[in-house]
Protein backbone atom coordinates (compact mmCIF):
# COMPACT_ATOMS: atom_id res chain seq x y z
CA UNK A 1 0.00 0.00 0.00
CA UNK A 2 1.36 3.37 -0.98
CA UNK A 3 1.90 5.66 1.97
CA UNK A 4 3.69 8.56 0.39
CA UNK A 5 3.84 9.46 -3.25
CA UNK A 6 5.80 12.26 -4.93
CA UNK A 7 4.66 12.79 -8.50
CA UNK A 8 6.98 15.10 -10.48
CA UNK A 9 7.45 17.32 -7.46
CA UNK A 10 9.44 20.55 -7.63
CA UNK A 11 10.05 23.03 -4.91
CA UNK A 12 11.50 26.41 -5.72
CA UNK A 13 12.52 29.20 -3.42
CA UNK A 14 13.42 32.69 -4.44
CA UNK A 15 16.48 33.78 -2.56
CA UNK A 16 17.48 37.38 -3.09
CA UNK A 17 15.70 37.65 -6.42
CA UNK A 18 17.10 34.45 -7.99
CA UNK A 19 15.25 31.15 -7.97
CA UNK A 20 16.69 28.09 -6.30
CA UNK A 21 15.44 24.65 -7.23
CA UNK A 22 15.57 22.84 -3.95
CA UNK A 23 13.73 19.89 -5.46
CA UNK A 24 13.62 19.34 -9.18
CA UNK A 25 11.04 17.00 -10.68
CA UNK A 26 11.23 14.25 -8.07
CA UNK A 27 9.00 11.20 -8.33
CA UNK A 28 9.17 8.68 -5.48
CA UNK A 29 6.69 6.40 -3.75
CA UNK A 30 7.12 4.94 -0.31
CA UNK A 31 4.97 2.06 0.86
CA UNK A 32 3.54 1.56 4.31
CA UNK A 33 5.89 -0.29 6.61
CA UNK A 34 9.05 0.78 4.81
CA UNK A 35 12.18 2.04 6.57
CA UNK A 36 13.71 4.56 4.18
CA UNK A 37 16.87 6.52 4.74
CA UNK A 38 17.48 9.75 2.89
CA UNK A 39 21.10 10.71 2.40
CA UNK A 40 22.94 13.39 0.53
CA UNK A 41 25.23 16.33 1.17
CA UNK A 42 23.82 19.56 2.50
CA UNK A 43 21.96 21.49 -0.18
CA UNK A 44 21.05 18.28 -1.96
CA UNK A 45 17.36 18.78 -1.28
CA UNK A 46 16.93 16.15 1.42
CA UNK A 47 15.67 18.67 3.95
CA UNK A 48 13.15 20.01 1.47
CA UNK A 49 12.09 16.45 0.74
CA UNK A 50 11.71 15.90 4.44
CA UNK A 51 9.64 19.08 4.94
CA UNK A 52 7.32 18.02 2.14
CA UNK A 53 6.95 14.53 3.64
CA UNK A 54 6.11 16.12 6.96
CA UNK A 55 3.47 18.49 5.57
CA UNK A 56 5.52 21.43 6.77
CA UNK A 57 5.73 22.63 3.19
CA UNK A 58 3.79 22.29 -0.05
CA UNK A 59 5.23 21.68 -3.52
CA UNK A 60 5.60 24.41 -6.15
CA UNK A 61 4.79 21.85 -8.87
CA UNK A 62 3.60 18.29 -8.89
CA UNK A 63 1.61 16.30 -6.41
CA UNK A 64 2.48 15.07 -2.94
CA UNK A 65 0.04 12.53 -1.57
CA UNK A 66 0.27 11.35 2.01
CA UNK A 67 -1.86 8.41 3.08
CA UNK A 68 -4.12 9.15 0.12
CA UNK A 69 -4.44 12.87 0.88
CA UNK A 70 -3.18 15.39 -1.65
CA UNK A 71 -1.48 18.21 0.23
CA UNK A 72 -1.21 20.62 -2.69
CA UNK A 73 -2.95 23.91 -2.00
CA UNK A 74 -3.71 23.09 1.59
CA UNK A 75 -3.86 25.93 4.07
CA UNK A 76 -1.85 26.17 7.28
CA UNK A 77 -4.78 24.93 9.33
CA UNK A 78 -5.33 21.73 7.34
CA UNK A 79 -1.60 21.05 7.18
CA UNK A 80 -1.38 21.41 10.95
CA UNK A 81 -4.18 18.92 11.40
CA UNK A 82 -2.57 16.50 8.96
CA UNK A 83 0.76 16.70 10.81
CA UNK A 84 -0.99 16.21 14.10
CA UNK A 85 -2.91 13.14 12.95
CA UNK A 86 -0.47 11.32 10.72
CA UNK A 87 3.13 12.42 11.21
CA UNK A 88 5.54 11.98 14.07
CA UNK A 89 8.70 14.12 14.12
CA UNK A 90 12.04 13.29 15.68
CA UNK A 91 14.73 15.98 15.56
CA UNK A 92 18.47 16.08 15.97
CA UNK A 93 18.22 18.48 18.93
CA UNK A 94 15.29 16.55 20.47
CA UNK A 95 13.32 19.82 20.80
CA UNK A 96 11.82 18.94 24.15
CA UNK A 97 10.18 21.69 26.19
CA UNK A 98 12.50 22.64 29.03
CA UNK A 99 11.24 22.53 32.60
CA UNK A 100 8.38 20.33 31.47
CA UNK A 101 8.13 16.71 32.54
CA UNK A 102 8.81 13.89 30.09
CA UNK A 103 5.17 12.91 30.42
CA UNK A 104 3.90 16.38 29.47
CA UNK A 105 6.39 16.56 26.62
CA UNK A 106 5.09 13.29 25.22
CA UNK A 107 1.49 14.40 25.70
CA UNK A 108 2.04 17.68 23.79
CA UNK A 109 0.64 16.59 20.39
CA UNK A 110 -2.49 15.29 22.11
CA UNK A 111 -3.27 18.82 23.35
CA UNK A 112 -3.70 19.87 19.76
CA UNK A 113 -5.88 16.92 18.88
CA UNK A 114 -8.25 17.88 21.67
CA UNK A 115 -7.66 14.96 24.03
CA UNK A 116 -8.63 15.61 27.64
CA UNK A 117 -5.88 15.99 30.21
CA UNK A 118 -6.42 12.68 31.97
CA UNK A 119 -6.66 10.68 28.78
CA UNK A 120 -3.53 12.47 27.55
CA UNK A 121 -1.52 11.36 30.53
CA UNK A 122 -2.69 7.76 30.29
CA UNK A 123 -1.81 7.67 26.61
CA UNK A 124 1.56 9.40 27.10
CA UNK A 125 2.46 7.01 29.92
CA UNK A 126 1.68 4.03 27.70
CA UNK A 127 4.00 5.30 24.98
CA UNK A 128 6.76 6.22 27.44
CA UNK A 129 6.67 2.64 28.71
CA UNK A 130 6.89 1.44 25.15
CA UNK A 131 10.23 3.25 24.70
CA UNK A 132 11.39 2.01 28.08
CA UNK A 133 11.13 5.26 30.05
CA UNK A 134 8.07 4.58 32.17
CA UNK A 135 9.98 5.32 35.35
CA UNK A 136 11.26 8.64 34.10
CA UNK A 137 7.86 10.16 33.35
CA UNK A 138 8.16 12.96 35.92
CA UNK A 139 11.72 13.93 35.12
CA UNK A 140 12.53 17.09 33.23
CA UNK A 141 14.66 16.90 30.07
CA UNK A 142 17.62 18.41 31.92
CA UNK A 143 17.58 15.42 34.27
CA UNK A 144 17.77 12.92 31.38
CA UNK A 145 20.69 11.73 29.28
CA UNK A 146 20.84 12.51 25.56
CA UNK A 147 19.69 9.03 24.66
CA UNK A 148 16.81 9.23 27.12
CA UNK A 149 15.81 12.63 25.77
CA UNK A 150 15.71 11.26 22.26
CA UNK A 151 13.57 8.38 23.49
CA UNK A 152 11.14 10.89 25.01
CA UNK A 153 11.09 12.66 21.64
CA UNK A 154 10.38 9.36 19.90
CA UNK A 155 7.61 8.66 22.36
CA UNK A 156 6.18 12.08 21.54
CA UNK A 157 6.32 11.21 17.84
CA UNK A 158 4.48 7.96 18.53
CA UNK A 159 1.79 9.25 20.83
CA UNK A 160 -0.72 10.10 18.11
CA UNK A 161 -0.20 6.76 16.37
CA UNK A 162 1.10 8.32 13.18
CA UNK A 163 1.31 6.55 9.84
CA UNK A 164 4.83 7.88 9.39
CA UNK A 165 7.73 8.86 11.60
CA UNK A 166 10.12 11.43 10.19
CA UNK A 167 13.51 11.44 11.84
CA UNK A 168 15.86 14.27 10.94
CA UNK A 169 19.41 13.28 11.94
CA UNK A 170 18.10 11.66 15.12
CA UNK A 171 21.57 10.46 16.16
CA UNK A 172 23.41 13.64 15.19
CA UNK A 173 23.75 14.79 18.79
CA UNK A 174 24.45 11.37 20.31
CA UNK A 175 27.55 9.26 20.82
CA UNK A 176 27.90 6.09 18.79
CA UNK A 177 26.83 3.80 21.58
CA UNK A 178 23.64 5.74 22.26
CA UNK A 179 23.10 6.12 18.52
CA UNK A 180 23.05 2.37 18.22
CA UNK A 181 20.46 2.17 20.97
CA UNK A 182 18.24 4.67 19.22
CA UNK A 183 18.61 2.96 15.84
CA UNK A 184 17.75 -0.30 17.53
CA UNK A 185 14.56 1.32 18.83
CA UNK A 186 13.70 2.57 15.35
CA UNK A 187 14.17 -0.90 13.91
CA UNK A 188 12.02 -2.34 16.65
CA UNK A 189 9.26 0.18 15.88
CA UNK A 190 9.61 -0.55 12.17
CA UNK A 191 9.27 -4.23 13.03
CA UNK A 192 5.93 -3.34 14.64
CA UNK A 193 4.80 -1.97 11.28
CA UNK A 194 5.53 1.75 11.64
CA UNK A 195 6.86 3.47 8.52
CA UNK A 196 10.02 5.52 9.04
CA UNK A 197 11.79 8.08 6.90
CA UNK A 198 15.21 8.89 8.28
CA UNK A 199 17.40 11.72 7.10
CA UNK A 200 21.09 11.28 7.81
CA UNK A 201 24.47 11.88 6.33
CA UNK A 202 26.11 8.93 8.04
CA UNK A 203 26.29 5.81 5.93
CA UNK A 204 26.36 3.43 8.89
CA UNK A 205 23.17 4.97 10.27
CA UNK A 206 21.57 4.76 6.85
CA UNK A 207 22.50 1.09 6.85
CA UNK A 208 19.78 0.50 9.43
CA UNK A 209 17.15 1.11 6.77
CA UNK A 210 15.97 -1.22 4.04
CA UNK A 211 15.96 1.43 1.31
CA UNK A 212 18.31 4.26 0.60
CA UNK A 213 17.34 7.42 -1.29
CA UNK A 214 20.40 9.35 -2.35
CA UNK A 215 19.80 13.03 -3.15
CA UNK A 216 22.06 15.31 -5.13
CA UNK A 217 21.25 18.77 -6.50
CA UNK A 218 17.54 18.50 -5.89
CA UNK A 219 17.18 15.15 -7.67
CA UNK A 220 17.14 11.55 -6.59
CA UNK A 221 20.54 10.27 -7.61
CA UNK A 222 19.90 6.69 -6.61
CA UNK A 223 17.08 4.74 -5.04
CA UNK A 224 18.21 1.32 -3.86
CA UNK A 225 16.95 -1.42 -1.66
CA UNK A 226 19.65 -2.50 0.72
CA UNK A 227 20.34 -5.27 3.12
CA UNK A 228 19.24 -4.02 6.54
CA UNK A 229 22.00 -3.92 9.15
CA UNK A 230 20.47 -4.96 12.42
CA UNK A 231 21.31 -2.80 15.41
CA UNK A 232 21.14 -5.01 18.45
CA UNK A 233 20.27 -4.47 22.02
CA UNK A 234 22.45 -2.03 23.93
CA UNK A 235 25.85 -3.29 24.82
CA UNK A 236 26.36 -5.22 21.59
CA UNK A 237 28.26 -3.97 18.55
CA UNK A 238 26.38 -3.43 15.36
CA UNK A 239 26.81 -6.41 13.10
CA UNK A 240 26.52 -6.83 9.39
Partner 1 sequence: MSVLESVLVALTALRTNLLRSMLTMLGIIIGVAAVITMVAMGTGAQKEVDAQIAALGTNLFMIMPGSFRDHGARMASGSRLKLTEDDAHAIKREVAGVVASAPTSRGAVQIVSGNMNWSTTVQGIDNDYLLARNWEIVEGRVFEAREIRSGTRAALVGATVAEELFGEASIVGQSVRINNVPFQIVGRLGPKGQSMMGYDQDDLVMVPLEAARGRLLGASRAVAKAVSVIMVSVEQASMMDEVEEQITGLLRQRHRLRADQENTFSIRNMSEMVATRAEASRVFNMLLAAVASVSLVVGGIGIMNIMLVSVTERTREIGLRRAVGAKPRDILTQFLIEAITLCTIGGAVGVLLSVVIIMVTSNLTGWPVELPFQVIVLAVLFSAAIGVSFGYYPARKAARQDPIEALRYE
Give residues in contact with partner 1 (CB under 8 A). 51, 54, 56-57, 76-77, 80-81, 83-85, 89, 91, 93, 95, 97-100, 108-109, 111-114, 117, 156, 160
CB closer to partner 1, 61 vs 81 = 81
Q: Nearer Cβ to partner 1, position 69 or 97?
A: 97
Q: Give min distance, CB of 106 to partner 1, in A.
A: 10
Integer Cα distance of 17 and 13 in angstroms: 10
Instruction: State the minimum distance, in angstroms, from the CB of residue 84 to partner 1.
Output: 2
- Kindly tell me which of 1 and 98 has the beta carbon lying closer to partner 1: 98
Q: Collapse the DSSP code of 186 into the 3-class scheme (helix H, G, I; strand E, B; otherwise coil) and give the result.
A: helix
Q: Could you give the CA distance from residue 77 to residue 89 in angstroms, rounded to a whole number?
A: 18
As a whole number of angstroms, the distance between CA 108 and CA 100 comes to 10
Minimum Å gap between C-beta 95 and partner 1 is 4
Which lies closer to partner 1 via its Cβ, residue 109 or residue 218? 109
- Smallest gap from Cβ 98 to partner 1, in A, equals 7
Minimum CB distance to partner 1, residue 175 (Å)? 22
Looking at the DSSP assignment, which residues form a beta bridge with residue 39?
Answer: 214
The smaller minimum CB distance to partner 1, of residues 128 and 184, is found at 128
Query: Residue 136: what are its φ and ψ, rounded to 5°?
Result: -105, 10
**Do 26 and 49 touch, CB atoms closer than 8 A?**
yes
93 or 222: CB nearest partner 1: 93
Element (H, E) at 211: strand 211-216
Q: State in angstroms the smallest separation of the CB of 80 from partner 1.
A: 4
Question: Cα separations (Å) of 75 from 50, 56, 162, 199?
Answer: 19, 11, 20, 26
164 phi-psi bin (left φ>0, alpha ψ -120 to 50, beta other): beta
Answer for the pair 149, 94: CB distance below 8 angstroms, yes or no: yes
Amino acid sequence: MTLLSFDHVSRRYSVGGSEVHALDDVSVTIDAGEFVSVIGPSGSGKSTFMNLCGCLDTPSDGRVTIDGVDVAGMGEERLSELRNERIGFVFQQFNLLARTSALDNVALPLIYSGVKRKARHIEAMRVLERVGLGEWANHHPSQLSGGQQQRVAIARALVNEPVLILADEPTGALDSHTSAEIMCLFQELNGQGISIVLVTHEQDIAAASSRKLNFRDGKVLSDERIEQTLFLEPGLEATA
